[in-house]
């Protein structure tokens, strides 16, 4: 962009500004691709990171050719000074339109900005505002305030799902409590609304551009998260709440609720933005540790509940940790021979969950007091795997 009329001293000053990581302003004569000279007001500002290191420079250019003496080149040689000024003003009509105030309230502001542009020693940088892309009326920008707030609501409900779904599946709880049934139904409705919104929300394309074409948005969502989101919002809890549902069908619906945990993949993408903050990383590690311990506690109880009864002899295994826990707290299992013909009694579900969580916490932290210990082969294999997981946190 340099040419024969560009001032050599100005070039040296620009180079020195970049070398010394300084902020400065210049009036410099540069050339376009068609070799047309143009006067530019150039402002250089270094951008620093949190370590006070310059990572890039912000350079702004303002065309001030209209305010300078008309440039005499080959196309204007021989013209009078008045003719050259008229030609310069005509070619810079777009610049004048940009500088013309739109209303009376902006006049003083525009004049001050023009004064800044004419002051060589001014270190005030111009104000910038990113223009929002134009979208159809029914399309929502993925970074607007409403969508950001909605994403946080979905994030919180996803964590709620990640806690309650494994618990309900492992402990085989039927949502007979009306309050919990209504709450889970509201969560399902919100997830369903989220599907509708995702069909009308922009996304970032492979080239970094914002895609607002409705057809492309729908195709992208159908190829990515639609199936998972649809399976996660089905009303499994309402179906599972009916007493006349077949036991096998009820277990199937309870197992399908685990699909909701796949929504955590979307949560992980959002949490990436906070990994650069030390306090946020610490909080996330504590939450992840607690969530893993909760999942392992649900699995630990499921293994004990599956193996406590010997299906061949229909006798209870006295070496099981569930049986030992029931004896220690005074709520033993008993066989109902005159009624259902099944084993009944035992600790309450709250006690079983707290005991399971206590065991997984002590195992993951490699403390292990031994008051709850694995006895069957399945429990020992799971305990070994759990201790291997715990080693990753040390």
50: left (phi over 0), alpha (psi -120 to 50) or beta: alpha
Give the whole-angstrom CA distance, residue 160 versus residue 149: 17
Report CA torsion sign: 132, 138, 142, 148.
positive
Judge whether 51 and 21 are in contact, CB under 8 Å: no
pLDDT at residue 102, as a whole number: 44
Q: How far is CA 92 from the centre of its chain?
A: 45
HEC profile for 69-107? CCCCCCCCCCCCHHHHHHHHHHHCHHHHHHHCCCCHHHH
* C-alpha span between 72 and 36 (Å, rounded): 11
**Tokens 């709520």 identify what position?**
331
Residue closest to 167 by CA, chosen among 261, 55, 78: 261
Written as six digits, the tokens of 61 are 């250019």
Give per-residue pLDDT as tens, 75-133: 545 555 445 544 554 444 444 444 444 444 444 444 444 444 444 444 444 444 445 56
Top-confidence range, 105-109, 155-159, 192-196: 192-196
**Is 239 or 119 the better-scoring residue by pLDDT?**
239
CA distances in angstroms from 135 to 144, 173, 207, 363, listed in the order given? 12, 46, 18, 53
Residue 48, classed as helix, strand or coil, is: strand
**Where does residue 135 fall: left (phi above 0), alpha (psi -120 to 50 degrees), or beta otherwise?**
beta
Domains and CATH numbers, the chain: 8-92+112-117 (3.30.450.20), 145-393 (no CATH)
How many angstroms separate the CA atoms of 40 and 362, rounded? 69
Whole-number pLDDT of residue 94: 46
Q: How many angstroms from the chain centroid is the CA of residue 149?
A: 12
Is the pLDDT confidence value at 11 over 90? no
What local confidence, expressed as pLDDT, does residue 372 receive?
Answer: 86
């Amino acid at each position: 962009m340099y040419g024969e009329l560009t001032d050599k001293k100005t070039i040296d000053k620009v180079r020195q500004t970049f070398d010394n990581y300084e902020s400065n302003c210049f009036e410099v004569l540069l050339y376009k691709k068609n070799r047309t000279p143009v006067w530019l007001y150039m402002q250089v500002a270094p951008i620093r990171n949190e370590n006070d290191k310059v990572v890039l420079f912000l350079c702004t250019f303002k065309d001030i050719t209209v305010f300078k003496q008309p440039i005499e080149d080959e196309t204007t040689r021989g013209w009078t000074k008045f003719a050259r000024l008229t030609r310069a003003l005509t070619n810079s009509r777009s610049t004048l339109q940009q500088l013309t105030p739109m209303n009376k309230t902006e006049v003083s502001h525009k004049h001050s900005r023009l004064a800044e542009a004419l002051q060589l020693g001014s270190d005030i940088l111009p104000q910038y505002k990113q223009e929002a892309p134009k979208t159809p009326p029914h399309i929502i920008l993925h970074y607007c305030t409403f969508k950001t707030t909605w994403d946080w609501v979905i994030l919180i409900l996803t964590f709620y799902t990640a806690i309650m779904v494994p618990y309900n599946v492992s402990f085989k709880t039927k949502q007979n409590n009306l309050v919990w049934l209504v709450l889970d139904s509201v969560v399902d409705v919100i997830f369903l609304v989220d599907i509708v919104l995702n069909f009308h929300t922009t996304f970032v394309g492979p080239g970094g551009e914002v895609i607002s074409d409705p057809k492309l948005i729908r195709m992208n969502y159908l190829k990515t998260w639609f199936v998972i989101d649809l399976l996660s919002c089905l009303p499994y809890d309402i179906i599972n709440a009916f007493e006349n549902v077949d036991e096998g069908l009820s277990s199937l619906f309870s197992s399908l609720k685990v699909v909701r945990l796949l929504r955590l993949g979307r949560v992980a993408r959002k949490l990436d933005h906070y990994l650069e903050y030390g306090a946020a990383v610490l909080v996330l590690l504590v939450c992840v540790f607690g969530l893993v311990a909760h999942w392992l506690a649900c699995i630990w109880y499921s293994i004990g509940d599956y193996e406590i009864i010997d299906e061949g002899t229909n006798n209870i295994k006295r070496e099981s940790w569930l049986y030992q826990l029931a004896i220690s707290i005074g709520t033993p299992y008993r066989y109902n021979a005159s009624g259902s013909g099944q084993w009944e009694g035992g600790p309450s579900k709250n006690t079983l969950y707290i005991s399971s969580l206590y065991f997984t916490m002590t195992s993951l932290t490699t403390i292990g007091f031994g008051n709850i210990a694995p006895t069957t082969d399945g429990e020992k294999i799971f305990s070994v795997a759990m201790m291997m997981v715990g080693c990753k946190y040390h």
